[in-house]
């Protein structure tokens, strides 16, 4: 059956300008870090991508190493573009990254010009694209001068392989240095992708100010703290959860009694707002309009629908914000 996008796909989604650029991103973007690779069923990934687009999510975030195995998320994106979304390419923002290990030898990771250019060429081939909308340096390279890494990003834009460039996992000081170089080269920093949630607030200590100074936007990954800020752990640790063994990044020991108590209190506040804990957590990340977009992950369509519904209530009273601060203190 030929896919036809919903005629109401832009009716409810909120779109935010990315820094001082001309590009707008949906307030909720879909990340393809997990559940879209070769180890997961292709049809489920396809259904999630198409439902996201029907809900107004126009931004799909990838990286060369997403899957698992590495590369398979981009391959899935390529198949869905070819079979369903090709006619809508100009309505879609596709981002990818390079920085982590992809192949053997000295040129298979980090931030050299050799690696970044080669990796993007591979990514474009996997997705069947001539260009991506945003290309990121996925992490700073301690052994490659920022001048080389930023020159590679500049080159990629001038070659027409990406429209914009971004950084991910760079500290405030590293971002300031990298953005200064990009500005001199004439390819301004569009966006930074940091981890950010109610339980991980490091970007408030300098990074947000740096991004404001350079007119760059931000897109928060792990806004739900890898599932901690959902109803998943309110009654114990499910066996099929990340903390139950599905993730190397979230372990059972990470869910302390103190954190569990915080989650329970935050859930009570969310219920009082008429939201789920996940919806309130996304709304909190987007508060004050300093974050352009919240990047969600999903393993099923219902999660995407729930998260997009967070946009129905993005406002917080001062008392609600004060209560959140007290809970998390």
Report pLDDT for 242.
Answer: 53
Taking alpha carbons only, the member of 18, 22, 19, 26 closest to residue 61 is: 26
80 class by beta-carbon count within 10 Å (0-12 exposed, 13-18 middle, 19+ buried): buried
Q: How many Å apart are CA 197 and CA 282, to the nearest integer?
A: 8
Sketch the domain layout of the chain as residue ranges: 15-228+289-299
Give 153-218 as a DSSP string: HHHHHHTTSEEEEEEES--HHHHHHHHHHHHHHT--EEEEE-B-BTTB-GGGTTHHHHHHHHT-EE
Report pLDDT for 10.
Answer: 98
Report pLDDT for 264.
Answer: 95
Fold for the domain defined by 15-228+289-299: TIM Barrel (3.20.20)
Helix then strand then coil, % of the chain, to nearest 5: 45, 15, 40
Report pLDDT for 233.
Answer: 82
Q: pTM for this structure?
A: 0.94
Report pLDDT for 1.
Answer: 80
- Name the stretches of the chain with pLDDT < 50: 244
String of b and e for 226-258 (b: at least 16 CB within 10 Å)?
A: bbbbbebbeeeeeeebbbbeeeeebeeeebeee
Structure tokens given for 321: 């914000």
Q: What is the number of alpha carbons within 13 Å of residue 267 lying toward its C-beta?
A: 15
Model confidence pLDDT, tens digit, residues 213-261 = 999 999 999 999 999 999 988 876 665 555 545 555 556 677 888 999 9
């Amino acid at each position: 059956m030929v896919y036809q996008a919903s005629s109401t796909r832009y009716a409810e989604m909120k779109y935010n300008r990315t820094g001082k650029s001309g590009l707008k991103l949906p307030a909720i973007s879909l990340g393809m870090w997990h559940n879209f690779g070769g180890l997961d069923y292709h049809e489920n990934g396809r259904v999630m991508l198409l439902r996201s687009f029907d809900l107004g999510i126009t931004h799909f975030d990838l990286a060369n190493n997403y899957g698992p195995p590495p590369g398979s998320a981009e391959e899935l994106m390529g198949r869905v573009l070819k079979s369903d979304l090709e006619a809508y390419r100009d309505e879609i923002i596709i981002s990818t990254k390079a920085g982590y290990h992809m192949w053997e030898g000295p040129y298979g990771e980090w931030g050299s010009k050799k690696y970044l250019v080669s990796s993007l060429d591979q990514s474009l081939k996997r997705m069947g694209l001539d260009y991506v909308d945003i290309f990121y340096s996925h992490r700073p390279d301690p052994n490659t001068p920022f001048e080389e890494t930023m020159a590679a990003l500049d080159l990629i834009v001038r070659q027409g392989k990406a429209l914009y460039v971004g950084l991910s996992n760079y500290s405030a000081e590293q971002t300031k240095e990298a953005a200064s170089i990009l500005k001199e080269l004439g390819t301004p920093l569009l966006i930074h992708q940091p981890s950010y949630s109610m339980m991980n607030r490091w970007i408030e200590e300098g990074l947000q100010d740096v991004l404001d100074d350079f007119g760059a936007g931000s897109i928060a990954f792990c806004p739900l703290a890898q599932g901690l800020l959902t109803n998943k752990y309110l009654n114990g640790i499910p066996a099929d959860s990340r903390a139950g063994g599905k993730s190397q990044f979230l372990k059972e020991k990470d869910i302390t009694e103190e954190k569990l108590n915080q989650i329970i209190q935050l859930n009570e506040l969310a219920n009082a707002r008429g939201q789920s804990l996940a919806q309130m957590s996304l709304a909190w990340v987007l508060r004050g309009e300093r974050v352009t977009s919240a990047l969600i992950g999903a393993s099923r369509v219902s999660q995407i629908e729930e998260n997009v519904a967070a946009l129905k209530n993005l406002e917080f009273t001062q008392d609600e914000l004060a209560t959140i601060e007290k809970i998390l203190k």
